[in-house]
Amino acid sequence: MEIKNKVVLVFSMLFLIVSSSAFSQQGHNEVGSGPNPFRDCGIGAALFPNHHAAAVISNVIWDVGTTAVTSATMSPETCSNAHVKTAKFILDNYDNLIEDVAKGGGEHLVAVLDMEGCSSSKQADAVTMIRGNIGSKVSSVEYSQKTKTDKAADYYYAVTSASSNCLI
């Protein structure tokens, strides 16, 4: 293969990786919209369930994401979505988590950020974001009227929003 062809191939792969990585980090889907194929499905998700960027890169390198997209569209229930575990953990530990966020830290808060793949070096920033988001929710008049599930859902969205910045 000529050097020119190799350079074009390398730049094409880099473009696919960067564009797919950006696609996978655009925030979290609305409920019912299914898994993110590059992050939650395919070989990448199986090999790197807690490292979204590595899952995306692996899926793109393996087969340009074809397997991941196929599994997301044909059988989304087979995709490994770590967010389900996070949501269950938040619901089960909501009282401890709300206490941890009020204190600015704690073992439950660290655990939920670990579950979302947020490295310890980025957790302080994530906690600040979560505190800001949850603080505005808790101080609202409607908060006391919410069910525990709705409160946990607010916490979940605060955590997943903050942890998405851990991947950048």
Query: Are 154 and 134 in contact, with CB atoms under 8 Å apart?
Result: yes
Give dist(CA 77, CA 90) in Å, integer: 21
Per-residue pLDDT for 86 more than 60?
A: yes
Give the pLDDT score at 21. 42
Residue with tokens 């409920």: 31
* Structure token pair of residue 105: 């830290």
Give the pLDDT score at 78. 59
Helix axes 107-115, 148-164, angle to 10 degrees: 60
For range 35-55, the mean pLDDT:
72
Give dist(CA 93, CA 150) in Å, integer: 14
Per-residue pLDDT for 82 more than 80?
A: no
Please report, rounded to a whole number, the percentage of residues in the chain having pLDDT higher than 70. 64
Give dist(CA 157, CA 4) in Å, integer: 46
For range 72-92, the mean pLDDT:
71
- Rounded to the nearest integer, the mean pLDDT of the chain is 75
Query: Are 64 and 84 in contact, with CB atoms under 8 Å apart?
Result: no
Give the pLDDT score at 160. 83
Give the pLDDT score at 24. 44
Q: Tell me the whole-structure pTM to 2 decimals.
A: 0.55
**pLDDT of 104-156, one tens digit each?**
999 999 999 998 888 889 999 999 999 999 988 888 888 989 888 888 888 98
